[in-house]
A and B are shown apart, each in its own frame.
Chain A
Amino acid sequence: MIEAIRECLGQEMDADSRVVVIGEDVGVLGGVFRATDGLQARFGKERVVDMPLAEGVIVGSGIGLAMSGLRPVIELQFLGFGHQAFHQIGQQVARLRYRSQGRHALPLVIRSPFGGGVRTPELHSDAFEAFYTHTPGLKVVAPATAYDAKGLLAAAMESDDPVLYLEPLKGYRLTKDEVPDERYTVPLGKLRVARAGTAVTLIAWSAAVNVAERAAEELSEQGISVEVLDLRSLNPLDIDGIAESVSKTGRVAILHEAPLTGGFGGELVATIQQECFYSLEAPIIRISAPDTPYPLGGVEDLYIPDVDRVVDEVAALAKASA
């Protein structure tokens, strides 16, 4: 997946000289995960900039760069350090168009790895997507496959709306599906049916999609047919795509790495019960981390919902009745 992201950045920078990449360690090092490896050598220090270590000014100056006519792609080294820029993202990035009544477009992409499972140091791994989905004006994209990583990033860079593009720390190197060489886009707001099924709809995004798929495989051995939906983008949300699946299965499980309370799963539950109430055959369940801070690496496997937990919960759901 990391190669897909790198390739996309290179192609878009080639195609459009207004694209600049700014962030911490994105230059010579090529980013701590090498997403920007080689870009500085190709496009120069003017277009691939190692910024001073301050997320607030990285994002804030990104707004200014965009207003000057450039199309910045910002790398936040980890989403855990999005807090340091949250005043710029939440109050500024997300509302500039609205506050200027359409005068100022903000073609800005903020890329950031997030989520756990790779033994990072403390404070790096939280799944904070819900902070950002609660920020109207900002699109939130979270690919699970390498194919989507490339196509969604291209779409995000094409968009005249600001996009937070979330990269799964856990999928960076593990996810290795086929990626075409040519440029293409995957539209924002269209989910992907990662696995077709009939008995239960299991909704996930980012790294959790892989967990969902593996659980679905095990469940199929138990005779339970699970449809796995990869949301791809949380805002815009493909409500029609979700409704289509739920109307077929009548049972829904939502899987996310973030804590339960206030997680994006709650939003999905509310939306589904509103849109699909009469299709539901059992209460919607959420499978999530507990309502506790992201822990140290030694216990993170207990924190993030794993395949076993998903299998147990979904098997119970398949038998439950309303």
Chain B
Amino acid sequence: MSESRFLPNFESIAPFSRLTESGILDSGESPMSDEAVLEALRYMTLTRVFDDKATSMQRQGRFGTFSSVRGQEASVVGAASALDPAKDWIVPQYREFPALIRHGYPIENFALYFMGNPKGGTIPANVNMLPMQISLAAQIPQATGLAWGLKMQGSDGVAITFFGDGASSEGDFHESLNLAGIVKAPVIFFLQNNGWAISTPRENQTAARSFAERAIGYGVEGVIVDGNDLLAVHEVTARAVAKARAGDGPTLIESVTYRTGAHNTADDPTRYIDQQELEKWQQKDPVERIKNYLRSRGIWNETLEQEMLDSCAAQIDEAMEIARNTPLATSDALFDHVYAEPPQRMLDQKLDWANRNGGAR
């Protein structure tokens, strides 16, 4: 791979890739061991199983509005697989299930969150992540500060923040890139360009040919990668992580992928999506592509596929069982964890609510 791919390159905006669409590796060496690829594939499979489960739970009224990862599995997993959960931080948007699970966020908590139980927000003490972000782009300045703080304290940990093509129109994105460039924060801005922000196409977010080239205006490196190519995403992210660890500052990665599902379970994409374009992208399925790669390496077959599917299904079922058996939240869940030192007035309300004898006084 030539260095220039990591520099703003106005001649070409072709995404960096390693695998052909049919899963054949280029002439270079793979950036991931077979073992690492298999592990990544398992996270991708786990995601498919979870997405299906969550969507059907939503249809039954047991889950709230839910956004699946469909079509973006290689993008999310490829990025996550370049991180060291022991010292690196994830500052998510909401479409990064496998990255959070790999980092140590329990699946049952993820499920509880979508079941509307505040307990689902619990992040275990040793898991380096911020809560999922619903307010678009709000996480990006936070990731910048987090990374900057790690650097100030001599850690070689880095922060990666995920966000969409839509979110990148917010001021928070631009202000963050600007700051990160100035303070050389060890942060990776991972922009998932999935073509859409609900019904708004990518063309309505920027007149630039790519999102990545915005980086140059902030003195930050930008790179475009084929987001459906696990190996390429991993390689590009690993380089950005190594660079950040070495003290050489931030990188903006534009991962070009496609949301092949609905925006979320409340959305009806048939109202706006171009069916032909969708089908074109469905042909580029990231999971199939990496399986084809493994087949070409002679280490994938139907037995292994079935085993992986079964083990993922078992893992999801187990987590769902825990979630289901978690007691429903009581009114205490409104009040717990709001403050370190709660004001008396709120504590009075808590008691009042528990007694269900009326409103706040």
User: A residues engaging B (CB < 8 A)?
Assistant: 24-25, 27-30, 32, 50-57, 80-81, 83-84, 119-124, 259-261, 285-293, 295-300, 302-303, 305, 309-310, 312-313, 316
* Cβ of B94 to closest chain A Cβ, rounded Å: 8
**Cα A53 to Cα B135 with chains together (Å):** 11
Asked if A121 contacts B335 (CB within 8 A), the reply is no
B27 CB to nearest A CB, Å: 40
Residues of A within 8 A of B361 (CB): 285
Q: Which residues of A contact B199 (CB under 8 A)?
A: 25, 27-29, 50
- How many B residues have CB within 8 A of the partner chain? 51
- Can you list 5 contacts pairing A with B, beta carbon distance less than 8 Å? A29-B272, A124-B134, A285-B361, A291-B349, A303-B334
B300 to chain A, nearest CB (A): 37
Complex partner residue of A290 from B166, B266, B350, CB under 8 angstroms: B350
Q: Identify which of residues 337-361 in chain B touch chain A, using a CB-to-CB cut-off of 8 Å.
A: 338, 343, 345-346, 349-350, 353, 356-361
Q: Which of B78-86, B109-117, B219-227 contacts A (4 or more CB under 8 A)?
A: B109-117
CB of B335 within 8 A of CB of A296, answer no
Please determine whether B113 and A53 come into contact, CB atoms closer than 8 angstroms.
no
Question: From B136, which residue of chain A is reached at the shortest CB distance?
Answer: A53
Residue of A nearest to B65 (CB): A121
Closest B-chain residue to A32, C-beta based? B198
Tell me if B282 is interfacial: C-beta within 8 Å of chain A.
Answer: no
Assuming the contacts A25-B200, A50-B204, A312-B357, asked whether A298 and B116 have C-beta atoms less than 8 A apart, the reply is yes
The secondary-structure label for the interface of chain B is loop
In the complex, chain B residues 246-287 whose Cβ is within 8 Å of any chain A Cβ: 264, 266-267, 271-272
Any A CB within 8 A of the CB of B178: no
Q: Give the distance to chain A from B259, nearest Cβ to Cβ, in Å.
A: 14
A54 B169 Cβ-Cβ under 8 A: yes
Cβ contact within 8 Å between A52 and B334: no
Query: Which of A290, A299, A302 has the most C-beta atoms of chain B within 10 angstroms of its own C-beta?
Result: A290
Contact among A53, A57, A291 with B197 in the assembled complex (CB-CB below 8 Å): A53
Residues of chain B with a CB closer than 8 A to A81's CB: 135-136
Q: Which residue of A lies closest to B336 (CB)?
A: A292
* Residues A119 and B64 in contact in the complex (CB < 8 Å), given A50-B199, A290-B335, A296-B113: yes
A313's nearest neighbour on chain B, judged by CB, is B358
Contact assessment for A297 and B359 in the assembled complex, using a CB-CB cutoff below 8 Å: no
Q: Shortest Cβ distance from A306 into chain B, in angstroms?
A: 10
* Any A CB within 8 A of the CB of B205: yes
Q: Which residues of A contact B331 (CB under 8 A)?
A: 299, 302
**Inter-subunit contact B346/A291 (CB<8 Å):** yes
Complex interface: chain B residues within 8 A of A293 (CB): 338
Q: Tell me if B271 and A290 are in contact (CB < 8 A).
A: no
- Chain A residue at minimum C-beta to C-beta distance from B204: A50
Partner of A288, one of B65, B135, B360: B360
Contact between chains at A298 and B358 (CB < 8 Å): no
A312, B328: Cβ atoms closer than 8 Å: no
Give the A-binding residues of B (Cβ under 8 A).
64-65, 94, 113, 115-118, 120-121, 134-136, 166-167, 169-172, 197-200, 204-206, 264, 266-267, 271-272, 328-331, 333-335, 338, 343, 345-346, 349-350, 353, 356-361
Given contacts A123-B134, A261-B345, A297-B64, 18 further A-B contacts (CB under 8 A): A27-B199, A27-B200, A32-B198, A50-B199, A52-B204, A53-B167, A53-B169, A121-B134, A290-B334, A292-B334, A295-B333, A295-B334, A296-B117, A298-B115, A299-B329, A299-B331, A310-B359, A313-B358
Find the A residue at minimum CB distance from B269. A29
Asked whether, in the complex, the Cβ of B169 is within 8 Å of the Cβ of A290, the reply is: no
Residues of the A chain whose Cβ atoms lie less than 8 Å from the Cβ of B198 = 24-25, 29, 32
Q: A52-B204, A291-B346, A296-B117 are in contact. Are A316 and B169 (CB under 8 A)?
A: no
- In the docked arrangement, what's the CA distance between A285 and B358, Å? 11
Enumerate chain B residues within 8 angstroms of A309, measured Cβ to Cβ.
356, 358-359
Chain B residue with the shortest CB-CB distance to A261: B345
Residues of the A chain whose Cβ atoms lie less than 8 Å from the Cβ of B264: 121
Q: Are A29 and B345 in contact (CB under 8 A)?
A: no
A80 and B204: CB pair below 8 A?
no
Going nearest first, the 8 A-B pairs with the smallest beta carbon separation are A298-B116, A29-B199, A297-B116, A287-B359, A53-B166, A52-B169, A260-B360, A290-B349
By the criterion CB–CB under 8 Å, are B170 and A84 in contact? yes
Expressed in whole angstroms, the Cα–Cα distance for A221 and B202 within the complex equals 57
Contact flag A298-B357 (CB < 8 Å), given A121-B65, A261-B345, A303-B334:
no
In angstroms, Cα B359 to Cα A316, docked, is 12
- Provide the residues of chain A in CB contact with B197, threshold 8 Å: 24-25, 53
Among the listed B135, B170, B171, B346, which residue makes an inter-chain contact with A123, where contact means beta carbons less than 8 Å apart?
B135
B65 to chain A: which residues have CB within 8 Å?
A: 119-121
Chain B residues, CB < 8 A from A316 = 358
Q: Is the CB of B359 within 8 A of A299?
A: no
Q: What chain B residues lie within 8 Å of A288 (beta carbons)?
A: 359-360
From the candidates B116, B135, B330, name the one contacting A80 in the complex (CB within 8 A). Answer: B135
Contact A54 B346 (CB under 8 A): no
Residue of B nearest to A120 (CB): B65
Give, as a whole number of angstroms, the nearest-CB distance from A18 to chain B.
Answer: 23
Most buried by B among A84, A305, A316: A84
